[in-house]
C-alpha cells in the first residue's frame, strides 16, 4: 500500500468526521461516558479485589493444643502441621502470648482482662496455620483437626465462606458491568458509522462504479471508527486519572485505613488498556456496520 494512499484514507476519515461534527461530538461524548463508567467499574473491581485478597491473606486456622502436652510433643505437632499439603506457614503461640494479645486489644483502659478472669489464664497453647490458598482453608482445617494432640480447630467458619462468596459476587458483577458497557460502546460507534455510510451512499456507489475496491472504500470507515473510539477513551482516561489522583490523595490524608490501589505500573496498564479498548470498540463497531450496511 502506497504512502499516498494511506494519507488519502486518513484525510477521507478526517473529512467525514468534520462533515458530521455534531454526530462526531455526540458519539465521542457518549463513548467517553461509557469508557469513563467502564474505567470506574474496573477501578472498583481492582480495589475490591485488593481488599478481598488482603482479607483472604489474613484467613488462618488456629489449632488449639491439649493442655497435657509437653513442649516436645507440641514441637512434634508443629512439624506434622508443616508437612501438610497446602500449608504456607505455621506459627506457635503460647498461652501467655495469646492473653497478652487479648489484653492489648481489649484489656487496656479501665478494665483489666486478667483481673476480670480472676488472675487465671484459660487460653491453651496453639498453632496459627496459614494456607497457601485461602480457599483451601476449610479443607485444611479438617485435616488439622485430625492431628493427634489438637483438640479444637477454629478458622471463622461461616464468615470465611461468606467472604469467598462476596469475592465471587464482586468479580462476577464487575465482569457483567464491563461487558454491558462494552456492548453499549460498540452499538454507539456502529450506529455512527451506519449513519456515515447512509449519508455517503451515492458517493460510495460512484466510487465502486469507477473501479474502487471494497477495502479502498472500507479503510477510511475503519479509521473513522477507531478515531471515535480512541478519542472518547482518551477523554475518559484523562478525566479518570485526574479524579482518581485527587480521590487517592484525599483518602490518604483523611481516611488512611481505606487502602486504595496506587501501584503506578498497574494504573498505567489500566489506562493503556482503556485506550486499547476504545480503539478496539471503534474497530468492532465499524466492522459490524460495514458488513451489515455497506453492500459494496
The model's pLDDT over 247-296, given as tens digits with 9 standing for 90+, comes to 878 776 655 556 677 788 888 888 898 888 888 878 887 787 777 766 65
What span, in angstroms and rounded, lies between the C-alpha atoms of 37 and 32? 8
The grid coordinates of residue 37 equal 463508567
Q: Domains plus CATH for the chain? A: 3-55+162-293 (no CATH), 60-154 (3.30.70.3040)
pLDDT at 13 over 60: yes
Dihedral of the CA atoms 36, 41, 43, 48 (nearest 10)? 170
- Residue 277, CA distances (Å) to 175, 231, 243 in order: 15, 11, 20
Determine the average pLDDT of the residues in 87-104.
84
Determine the average pLDDT of the residues in 165-177.
75
Q: What is the pTM of this model?
A: 0.60
Residue-wise pLDDT tens digits, 127-142 = 999 888 877 888 888 8
Which range has highest mean pLDDT (8-22, 93-107, 136-150)?
136-150
At residue 68, the pLDDT reads: 87
Runs of H (alpha helix) within the chain: 3-19, 21-57, 71-82, 95-106, 113-116, 137-145, 159-199, 201-209, 214-254, 264-293
Which range has highest mean pLDDT (66-80, 154-168, 200-214)?
66-80
Q: Which residue shows C-alpha cell 506457614? A: 89
CB 229 within 8 A of CB 17: no
Determine the average pLDDT of the residues in 189-193.
73
Report the relative pairing of strands 61-65 and 150-154 from DSSP bridges: antiparallel
Could you tell me the pLDDT band of residue 202, with boundaries at 50, 70 and 90? confident
The percentage of residues in the chain with a pLDDT greater than 70, rounded to a whole number, is: 81
- Specify burial of residue 220 (Cβ count, 10 A radius: 0-12, 13-18, 19+): buried
Our measurement of the distance from residue 222's CA atom to the centroid of its chain's CA atoms, rounded to an integer in Å, reads 30
The grid coordinates of residue 193 equal 458509522
| φ, ψ for residue 19, nearest 5 deg | -65, -35
| φ, ψ for residue 260, nearest 5 deg | -90, 145
What span, in angstroms and rounded, lies between the C-alpha atoms of 270 and 237? 9
Sign of the torsion formed by the C-alpha atoms of 165, 168, 174 and 175 = negative
Determine the average pLDDT of the residues in 196-205.
70
pLDDT at 92 over 80: yes
Report the relative pairing of strands 61-65 and 126-131 from DSSP bridges: antiparallel
Return the minimum-mean-pLDDT range out of 14-18, 152-156, 204-208: 204-208
Amino acid at each position: 500500500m502506497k504512502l499516498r494512499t494511506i494519507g488519502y484514507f486518513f484525510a477521507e476519515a478526517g473529512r467525514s468526521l468534520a462533515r458530521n461534527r455534531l454526530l462526531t461530538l455526540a458519539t465521542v461524548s457518549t463513548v467517553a461516558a461509557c469508557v469513563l463508567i467502564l474505567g470506574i467499574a474496573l477501578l472498583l473491581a481492582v480495589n475490591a479485589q485488593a481488599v478481598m485478597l488482603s482479607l483472604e491473606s489474613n484467613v488462618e486456622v488456629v489449632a488449639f493444643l491439649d493442655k497435657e502436652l509437653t513442649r516436645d510433643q507440641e514441637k512434634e505437632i508443629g512439624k506434622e502441621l508443616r508437612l501438610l499439603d497446602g500449608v504456607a506457614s505455621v506459627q506457635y503461640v503460647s498461652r501467655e502470648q495469646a492473653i497478652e494479645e487479648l489484653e492489648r486489644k481489649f484489656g487496656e483502659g479501665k478494665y483489666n482482662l486478667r483481673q476480670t478472669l480472676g488472675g487465671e489464664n484459660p487460653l491453651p497453647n496453639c498453632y496459627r496455620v496459614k494456607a497457601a490458598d485461602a480457599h483451601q482453608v476449610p479443607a485444611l482445617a479438617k485435616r488439622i483437626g485430625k492431628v493427634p494432640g489438637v483438640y479444637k480447630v477454629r478458622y471463622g467458619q461461616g464468615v470465611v465462606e461468606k467472604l469467598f462468596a462476596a469475592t465471587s459476587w464482586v468479580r462476577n458483577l464487575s465482569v457483567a458491568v464491563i461487558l454491558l458497557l462494552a456492548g453499549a460502546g460498540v452499538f454507539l460507534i456502529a450506529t455512527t458509522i451506519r449513519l456515515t455510510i447512509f449519508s455517503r451512499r451515492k458517493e460510495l456507489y460512484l466510487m465502486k462504479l469507477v473501479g474502487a475496491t471494497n477495502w479502498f472504500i472500507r479503510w477510511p470507515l475503519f479509521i473513522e471508527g477507531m478515531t471515535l473510539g480512541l478519542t472518547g477513551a482518551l477523554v475518559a482516561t484523562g478525566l479518570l486519572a485526574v479524579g482518581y489522583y485527587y480521590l487517592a490523595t484525599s483518602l490518604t490524608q483523611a481516611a488512611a485505613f481505606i487502602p486504595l490501589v496506587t501501584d503506578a505500573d498497574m494504573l498505567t496498564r489500566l489506562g493503556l488498556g482503556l485506550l486499547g479498548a476504545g480503539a478496539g470498540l471503534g474497530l468492532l463497531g465499524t466492522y459490524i456496520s460495514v458488513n451489515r450496511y455497506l453492500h459494496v
